[in-house]
Chains A and B, each alone.
Chain A
Amino acid sequence: MRSVDEGEYLEFAARRAAALYRSACLLSGGDTHLAEDLVQETLGRMYVHWHKAAAADNPAGYAHTVLVRAFLSHRRKRSSTETPREELPDAVTAEGDATVRIVLLDALGQLTPRDRAVLVLRYWEDRSVEETAQALRLSPGAVRTRCSRALERLRGVLGDSLPELSRL
């Protein structure tokens, strides 16, 4: 990468790192260490493909797509060695309704990685069904099905612990 490109890359990365980190925290179910790793991996991949990423219509969206794919790839690699998390994540701030967030993260953690990715893309990143499908290499129909199923599972997992959610 030429120095001018490296400067552009670093500027882009510095601007997007926090947003990527937040998405990664949702994808990882609140595992901040994994989230940092995913962001680093994403930025690493972006570095290698910076020319392509910079030329994209939406480099930020490109980065988030790379993040989701890095997450799914990570889950595939680790699925055979993972052990269940014994405690709830401790990185949620005490401000606001922390309980809701903790329960939500725990519930997200119980979804399949791909279902979690669908929810994060659709409802946190506000992507359309078509954009989500492209990011996850799924058909729009599959995204709708997964989204509906993930919402239902989320409702099922949350149960009575979030009455304000399950009532709706």
Chain B
Amino acid sequence: MSSPYQDRVAQVLRETAESFSPDDVTALVQAGAVRGRRRQRRRRAAAVTGAGALVLAGTTALPGLIDGERHGQATTHSAPIGPTRAQVLAAFEHILPRGTVSQVRSTASLTPTTDTPPFVLSSLILDDGSGQAGFTLAIAWVGAPATRGSGCAILPPDGPCTVSGIPGLGTLTLVQDSSGHDDHWVTSKLWGAQLQLANGEQLTLTENNGSAAPGAFSGPTRNDPPLSMAALGQALKDPVWRPVLAEFPTQAELRQAQSPARLRAGLTVLNRLLPKGVTASDPTFTDGNVQELLSGGSGGPGLIDLRLPVWGWTDGETWPMVGSKGTFKGGQDYLVRMGASTSNIREYYYDIDGSWTSGRQVEITEYDTRSATAKAPDRTDPVLTPAELRTVIASPLWETLPNP
């Protein structure tokens, strides 16, 4: 028998619980399923290793993408969140005809926001002996800007477009643009395929008959792109995508990994590394990053923004700013980007990434304003110089941060 107090507690608990609702049930479910598949893979891998049967793993055929069972490659280590750059590019090159690959570029969302869910965008040039051709691959959750829309909108709807359902998998769209569209589309043929999976993931592959990646300036180098439309669609159904898609992170996973506690620890590290004479104030935690004001030298305070990405990468060359790339002592990579924003909202800023061999990443953006949306500079330069930023980003103290 319950007391009035217990009844009231139950009532308030109900009211409180019902006031919560997940932002995106589908994403939540898919993220759970992805975790399940990973967990299952780890269990299987452990079982295989334990039985001493690892030597047999390479002889087992990987089932097709649309088969029900999802197998992963036998591995004894638990990978961090998301597929790696190497994993994505290996799959990308696997589906292409034999030939020479060059000008490989790849980027994956380092710090996804509500407006930009996780995505991978990669491009390369292939020469199969009949002339160069550009390929672009995009993997994303629906809505990511990298996918350039969906369905027949993936390319300018100038040529034929077919959309077909694939039972148990999703929808395949094949589009041909045969005329070129504007000044940027001087290649005469641009073909694309998009596989929209039922779980919300989207694979888009485009190819051209030019010497630049689809979407970039190029003249025709051959009559047709290398892959026929049928082959283009088939390439997206290749089982090679299975582990990439299974590992592909959801926004919820990445956001959860950016816990406030981890950001607080990151801020503590940053403040310990500030040079003498520089003081920090007014920390603000937002979704996935922390900002604070730095004071030092002449002029007003300048904003510094710290992010600790748990997944993603950026090829320096793809960033539309002047940059320099180097290697820390011990094998860690860093990338410094400096430039003025083309939108003129941020007058001038430094941006630096540290990417450790352990997989840990640190991103810092520094402004010459007290706000990222200021319309005029508050000082002539950001507070920390690029050299000081490099010193900060190279510190081994970052390795003390808790894992996601």
A-side interface residues toward B, CB under 8 Å?
Answer: 1-6, 9-10, 13-14, 17-18, 21-23, 25-26, 32-37, 39-48, 81-83, 91-93, 95-98, 100-101, 104-105, 119-120, 123-124, 126, 151, 154-155, 164-165, 168
Contact = CB atoms under 8 A, between A and B. Distances in A.
Given A1-B69, A36-B256, A39-B32, A18 B12 contact: no
6 contacts: A21-B22, A36-B28, A37-B252, A40-B31, A165-B5, A168-B3
Contacts of B255: 33, 36
B252 A36 contact: yes
Contact of A101 (B16, B22, B252): B16
Q: What are the 4 tightest A-B residue pairs by CB atom distance, in nearest-first order?
A: A47-B36, A43-B32, A3-B68, A44-B35
A97 B15 contact: yes
Interface in B324-361: none
A92 B16 contact: yes
Contacts of B13: 26, 104, 119-120, 123-124
B12 A25 contact: no
B242 interface: no
A157 to B, nearest CB: 12
B18 A22 contact: yes
Nearest to B11: A123
B40 A47 contact: yes
A115 to B, nearest CB: 13
A104 B5 contact: no
A21 B28 contact: yes
A124 B10 contact: yes
B19 interface: yes
A126 B33 CA distance: 27
A164 B21 CA distance: 26
B391 to A, nearest CB: 28
A2 B12 contact: no
Given A36-B31, A39-B28, A43-B32, 15 more contacts: A5-B68, A9-B33, A13-B33, A22-B20, A36-B28, A36-B252, A40-B252, A44-B38, A47-B37, A83-B264, A95-B19, A123-B6, A123-B13, A165-B8, A168-B4
Nearest to A123: B10
A3 B68 CA distance: 4
A36 B68 contact: no
B67 A154 contact: no
Nearest to A43: B32
B127 interface: no
A119 B13 CA distance: 9
Nearest to B255: A33
B216 interface: no
A152 to B, nearest CB: 10
A96 B19 contact: yes
A81 B39 CA distance: 24
B43 interface: yes
A47 B22 CA distance: 20
A25 B5 contact: no
Given A3-B168, A119-B9, A151-B6, A91 B28 contact: no
A6 B32 CA distance: 12
Interface in B253-304: 253, 255-256, 259, 261, 264
Contacts of A39: 22, 28, 32
Nearest to A164: B8
A119 B402 CA distance: 31
B163 interface: no
Contacts of A105: 16
A27 B256 CA distance: 16
Given A37-B256, A40-B253, A4 B68 contact: yes
B234 interface: no
B262 to A, nearest CB: 10
Nearest to A89: B20
B16 A104 contact: yes
Contact of A21 (B4, B20, B39, B259): B20
Contact of A47 (B32, B67, B256): B32
B256 A33 contact: yes
B28 A48 contact: no
B63 to A, nearest CB: 11
Interface string B31-64: 1111111111001000000000000000000000
B1 interface: no
B387 interface: no
A34 B260 CA distance: 11
A24 B369 CA distance: 41
Contacts of A26: 13, 16-17
Contacts of B20: 21-22, 25, 32, 35, 91-92
Contacts of B231: none
Contacts of B18: 22
Given A40-B32, A83-B264, A155-B5, A92 B68 contact: no
B29 interface: yes
B196 to A, nearest CB: 16
A43 B40 CA distance: 12
Contact of B22 (A18, A81, A155): A18
B289 to A, nearest CB: 14
A81 B4 CA distance: 38
B77 interface: no
